[in-house]
Amino acid sequence: MTEWTQDQAMSQLDPIFDEIDTICRGGLARYQQYPAELRIEHDGRAAAACIYTHMVALADELLTDRPGIVFKNIRGLKVWIIGDRATIRFKKMDEDGRTRNYPTKQARDFDRQLSLPGIPHPPLNLVVGYLPNPLGTEVDRVQVARPAGKAIDWCAAIVPTENRIVGQPRWIDVTRQANFG
């Protein structure tokens, strides 16, 4: 299979939705425990870097060494291979699933769905992350996006455990339609 649908990709991640939610919400929650007098000195970039560090630590704790999950550090790009195909990395996101940073070559290749050393081929590279509220104090939603270079093919939100209804989907498509006006 060379091209995975959104449904197939999300089904691959479904067994770890709770862990993904905990990682993303927990990263921001740990950052919020810093004393306010320290957080006030952080610009958005510094705050995002701290939150990312906490997410990676939580991902290491909750995902690494779990059966069916393999951690790879590809020249600084930290990814987890889920099952036989899906590879995820964690980031802060906007409502469309886009991330902002100064991307390394391997991060650009990951976003272009290109193969990297140790990643299954053909790749299914997904970005998992949090959409903060406007103040950056809480997580509005936890998302999964499939990047296609600088564009996003699709973006899905994981339904938080407390909002799930038995028999209802555990994720929703939040991909915004392109404005052709």
**Residue 1: per-residue pLDDT:** 41
Distance in angstroms (rounded) separating the CA atoms of residues 181 and 179: 6
| Six-digit token string for 120 | 């299954």
Contacts for 152 with CB less than 8 Å, ≥ 6 apart: 96, 97, 98, 145, 146, 175
**Residue 178: per-residue pLDDT:** 59
**Residue 3: per-residue pLDDT:** 77
Degrees (nearest 5) of the Cα angle 113, 52, 160?
85
Chain mean position to CA 126: 7
**Residue 9: per-residue pLDDT:** 94
- Written as tens digits, the pLDDT of the chain (181 aa) is 457 899 999 999 999 999 999 999 999 999 999 999 999 999 989 999 999 999 999 999 999 989 999 999 999 999 999 988 899 999 999 999 999 877 789 999 999 999 899 888 888 999 999 999 998 899 999 999 999 998 999 999 999 989 999 999 999 999 987 555 5
**Residue 179: per-residue pLDDT:** 52
First-to-last alpha carbon distance for the chain, in angstroms, is: 35
Report the candidate in 78, 67, 73, 79 with the shortest Cα–Cα distance to residue 15. Answer: 67
Tell me the backbone φ, ψ of residue 40, rounded to 5 degrees: -65, -25
**Residue 2: per-residue pLDDT:** 54
Distance in angstroms (rounded) separating the CA atoms of residues 132 and 140: 5
